Structures are given as structure tokens and as C-alpha cells.
Amino acid sequence: MTRAGWIRLALIVGALALLEAACRHGLVSRHAVIPPSRMIEGAWNAIAADETRADIWLTLQNVVLSLILSMIVGTAAGLMLHKATRFRRALDPLLASYYAVPTFVFYPLFIVLFGLNRWPLVAIGFLFAVVAVIINTLDGLARIPRAFVRTAAVMRLTRSQYALHIVLPAAAPWFFTGAKFAVAYSFIGVIAGEFVVSGAGIGHAIAFAYNSFDNRMMYGLIVLLFVLVGSVNTLLSLWERKLYARRAGR
């Protein structure tokens, strides 16, 4: 590990130890923050309980559905928009302001559209993630070096050869970044929806625990969720770095 990595680890461990000590000596109100050891206990209890396991499972399914849909639709829309230059230019200012809009206000509309089931939440996660995929696809396509395009023309590549040998490798880093954002945004969208409006899933379970003053369960679920999302994101980042290292090595 690098020096920065060790310092980071020491900082995190130190902060946790400090929090633990502060909580145990009553410096922080027990009603506000519980010691980290209790949080971990709470996380363990949450995994052990069937009910919360079902909530976690439901959330994961929704996130995966929203991820798959946003990847497919976002990539397809990006490819089409790349062709339609004028349309894309007109859309640009709207895309740039898209994330200023709180998407989940459309939840009631989705309930009317899809009924009271998992799909309204998937739709919120999807709306949150899909634009990230579109923007990154457009970015990747726009940055294919001109020389590659000309070389392909000289070599008389067919359309499928062009897609496979030129577009895919050249735009791969941007596709990957799009996927990374799609994962993070699907989680954020689905869980925000659960937290505010829905009656199931891990986001709802956290809100429920807060409302019933069950601090141990609440902190346990938050820790669990952060570990889950954090490890998914870290894995993706590591994979990405490996991908870049290989490209740089060529």
C-alpha cells in the first residue's frame, strides 16, 4: 500500500476509535450517536433477521434491474443521438441541467403508470442513471481519434468490423465510466425513492428504524449499506485502473 493509503487507513481507524471513546464516556448523546461497536452489532442483527434480509434483497434486485435498463437504453440512445447532430445540440443544455431536477417527484406518476409494485422505484433509479450513461456514451463516441476513423475508411472496414475494432476499443473507457456512474446512481435513485416514498426495501427500513427510535438497527443498516455500496464501487474502480494500466502499457 502507498504512504497515502496507510495515512488514510490510520485516519479512519483513529476517527472510529475516537468516536467509540467519545460515545462510551458520554461526550456524545447516546440518543444521537451510538458507539461504532454497537453499529456493527446492529449490522449483524440486521443480516440475521429474515425481514431485513428480504428488504436488502429487494433493494439489490431493483438496483440491478435499473442498472441493466439504464445501460441498454442509455447506450442505444447515445448511439442514436451521436448520429443526429442537430438534435443532440438542441438537447445539450437540457442534458447539462438534468441532474438539478429531483427525479423522484414523478413517483406518483409512475405508480399510476406501473401500479403499486417494484417498477415505480426501478423507474426512479433508471431515470437517475440513464442520463449518466447517455452523456458518457456521447463523450466516448465524440473522442474517437480522427486518424482511427480515416484508417478504418482506408482499410474498407465493414460497419460491424468498424464497430468491433474501432468504436468499442476507442470508446471503452467512457463506456466504463458510464457504467460506474450507472451503478452509483442506480443505488442512489432506488434508495432515495425507498427512503422517501416507498414501503419496502433497505431505504424504507432505515427510515422505519429512525421513526421507531431503533438506533441500533438504523445505524446497523446504514453501516451495512455503506459497506455494500462502498465495496461495489471500490471493485469497479480497481477494475477500471487495471483496464487503464493495460491500455497505457500497449
Partner 1 sequence: MRAAQDADPLVTAERAERRAVPPALDTMLMIGGLVALWQVGTILLGHEALPSPVATVSKLAGIMADEDFPRHAWETARASLTALVISLVAGLAIGLALGAHRLAGEVAEPMLTALYSIPKITLYPIILLLFGLGISAKIAFGVIHGIIPVILFTMNAVRNICAVYLRSARAMRLTAAQTAGTIIVPAAVPEIVSGFRVGFALTLLGTLIGEMFASQRGIGYMLVKAMETGDTGTVMALALLLVVLATAASAALLALDRRLRRHALAS
Contacts (CB under 8 A) with partner 1, residues 71-90: 86-87, 89-90
Q: Does 234 bind partner 1 (CB under 8 A)?
A: yes
Which residue from 249, 129, 233 is spatially nearest to 178, judged by alpha carbons?
129
Q: Which of 67, 71, 123, 191 binds partner 1 (CB under 8 A)?
A: 191
Number of residues forming the site for partner 1 (CB under 8 A): 73
DSSP codes, 16-40: HHHHHHHHHTTSS-TTT---HHHHH
Q: Which CB atom, from 156 or from 250, has the smaller least distance to partner 1?
A: 250
Q: Does 1 bind partner 1 (CB under 8 A)?
A: no
Q: Does 99 bind partner 1 (CB under 8 A)?
A: yes
Q: Which CB atom, from 135 or from 166, has the smaller least distance to partner 1?
A: 135
H-type alpha helices, the chain: 3-24, 36-48, 50-83, 85-97, 107-114, 119-142, 146-154, 159-162, 168-196, 202-211, 215-249
Q: Which CB atom, from 44 or from 226, has the smaller least distance to partner 1?
A: 226
Which span (65-73, 76-84, 130-138, 152-160) binds partner 1, by CB under 8 A?
130-138
Q: Which of residues 138-167 bind partner 1 (CB under 8 A)?
A: 138-139, 142
Q: Which CB atom, from 158 or from 213, has the smaller least distance to partner 1?
A: 213
Q: Which of 36, 119, 173, 200 binds partner 1 (CB under 8 A)?
A: 173
Min dist CB 113 to partner 1, Å, is: 7
- C-alpha–C-alpha distance, residues 79 and 248, integer Å: 26
Q: Which of residues 3-42 bind partner 1 (CB under 8 A)?
A: 3-4, 7-8, 11-12, 31-33
Q: Is 237 within 8 Å of 245 (Cβ atoms)?
A: no
Longest CA span, the chain: 75
- C-alpha–C-alpha distance, residues 29 and 33, integer Å: 6
Q: Which of 135, 141, 167, 179 binds partner 1 (CB under 8 A)?
A: 135
Rg value, the chain, Cα:
22
